[in-house]
Amino acid sequence: MTDPILSVRDLSIAYKTGRKESVTAVSGIDLDLYEGQSLALVGESGCGKTTLGLGLLRLLPGLGEITSGSLTYRLKDGSKADLLKMKQEQLRRFRWAEAAMVFQGAMNAFNPVIKIRDHFADTLKDHSDGKKKWTKAAVDARAGELLETVRLDPDRVLQSYPHELSGGMKQRALIALAIALDPQVLVLDEPTTALDLLTQRSIVQQLHELRKKFGFTMVFITHDLGLAAELADRVATMYAGRIIETGSARDIFYEPKHPYTAGLINAVMPVKGARPQLESIPGYPPSLKAMPSGCAFHPRCAFATDACKRERIDLDLLAERPLGMSHTAACLHHDQVRFERKCDDTSADRPASTVASGVRSTVASDAGSTVEGDARSTVESETADV
Ligand SMILES: Nc1ncnc2c1ncn2[C@@H]1O[C@H](COP(=O)(O)OP(=O)(O)OP(=O)(O)O)[C@@H](O)[C@H]1O
Ligand code: SF4
Ligand SMILES: [Mg+2]
């Protein structure tokens, strides 16, 4: 289908910070996500990635509120649903069955006093459409199938409490739980953070396999550009609550046009080729309570001019491509941004070798196809997350 599975228009999210005060954590997000795509949201800590991810499923905590915009999903039956108009009962059915989230901090995401089996039972019973009867045997069969898919032993894991599992096992069990009702959209918030390199590697491979098997659309949130380079078809860079550049993974990693995106990539080591001098971005992200005028990046930007300080800069279309893959950047001087880093294999669409990460991957054979791909990897010794 050529209409998006998720359409976000002018979405803004604020957190209440006092009786009458609030801060805007996410502002003016426009996004179309198409079936089967994988979108990475990248950016420094505090730029609003988790807030946006939670907002996409209306899972914001009590103090968070969507203050403007629209969120439209195409449901499994083909109908369109305005998520902001859904009542609690509709939302309960929507979550997990249509769109699910793997929360940041897998270590604490399970209820510690409930066995893994009961997490599956509760999710399947509470969020399904009621057509299927989730007997004990049906729960065990579904949970067992999913756990096997993420290479966990169902006999052991289903009887375990969360604290009896390792971090990697918990993360895999969480992913299995999130796809229990076969959602169309899966949002993963930092799916490999806090895991050792080999476990990260294994989670990434399983995400490739799960997408191949179940075909879900994926939004994954990460500050790890290596992971984004490997798993994403599209990348959106966030800064100070806004998307400031978006495009195909190839556009973003080979030809970033926003100085902030280029700065993020320059701050990590390439896997292949000569090792350049790493450059960090000077300064710090702004406080939500004291946002700089005009382009919020201007205090840290080598290209800034007076005009950058005056006006808000919106995303500009740089290269038009179908299915939401257009390259856009919110920078007055994007034509001056030259990105020098080159990958050895310039024919590859998947630029995993442009940047390194904790996962340290090079993709040798699956250029351009994440759903079909079978990632090949090399695990090296250095870690260079942003
Ligand atoms: N409950 C809250 N109340 C007030 N402000 C909040 C709350 N949660 C988040 N924020 C603020 O919203 C902004 C965005 O936070 P968010 O957690 O979305 O960032 P992030 O990009 O996911 O960061 P990280 O990479 O560290 O997870 C931050 O400035 C944060 O301080
Ligand atoms: S608009 Fe100006 S300050 Fe902002 S990123 Fe572009 S050049 Fe830098
Ligand atoms: Mg976060």
Go through the domains of the chain in sequence order and give each one's CATH number: 1-98+183-386 (3.40.50.300)
- Distance (Å, rounded) from C-alpha 12 to C-alpha 75? 23
Beta-sheet strand order (sheet of 6-16): 22-33, 6-16, 64-74, 80-82
What pLDDT was estimated at residue 164?
95
Expressed in angstroms and rounded, the spacing between residue 333 Cα and the centre of ligand 2 is 6
- Distance (Å, rounded) from C-alpha 58 to C-alpha 64? 10
Q: Look at ligand 2, atom 3, and give the residue with the nearest C-alpha.
A: 298
Q: What are phi and psi of 277, to 5 degrees?
A: -70, 130
Q: Is 303 in the pocket of ligand 2 (CB under 6 A)?
A: yes
Q: Is 297 in the pocket of ligand 2 (CB under 6 A)?
A: yes
Does 240 score more than 70 pLDDT? yes
Of 32-46, 72-86, 106-120, 285-299, give the lowest mean pLDDT range. Answer: 106-120
Q: Is 295 in the pocket of ligand 2 (CB under 6 A)?
A: yes
Q: Is 15 in the pocket of ligand 1 (CB under 6 A)?
A: yes
Q: What is the pLDDT of residues 110-138, one digit of tens each?
A: 999 999 999 999 999 988 877 888 999 99
Neighbours of 346 (CB within 10 A): 8
Does 372 score more than 60 pLDDT? no
Expressed in angstroms and rounded, the spacing between residue 240 Cα and the centre of ligand 2 is 13
| Helix axes of 136-149 and 197-214: crossing angle, nearest 10 degrees | 120
Helix spans in 165-258 (H): 167-178, 197-214, 225-231, 249-254
Expressed in angstroms and rounded, the spacing between residue 223 Cα and the centre of ligand 3 is 9
Provide the pLDDT confidence category of residue 377 given band limits of 50, 70 and 90.
very low
The DSSP call for residue 109 is T
Work out the end-to-end distance of the chain between its first and last CA atoms, rounded to an integer number of angstroms.
36
Expressed in angstroms and rounded, the spacing between residue 49 Cα and the centre of ligand 1 is 8
Mean pLDDT calculated for residue range 230-236: 94
Does 227 score more than 90 pLDDT? no
Does 371 score more than 50 pLDDT? no
Residues around the ion ligand 3 (C-beta < 5 A):
50, 104
Q: What are phi and psi of 295, to 5 degrees?
A: -75, 120
What pLDDT was estimated at residue 327?
97
Provide the pLDDT confidence category of residue 68 given band limits of 50, 70 and 90.
very high
Mean pLDDT calculated for residue range 59-86: 95
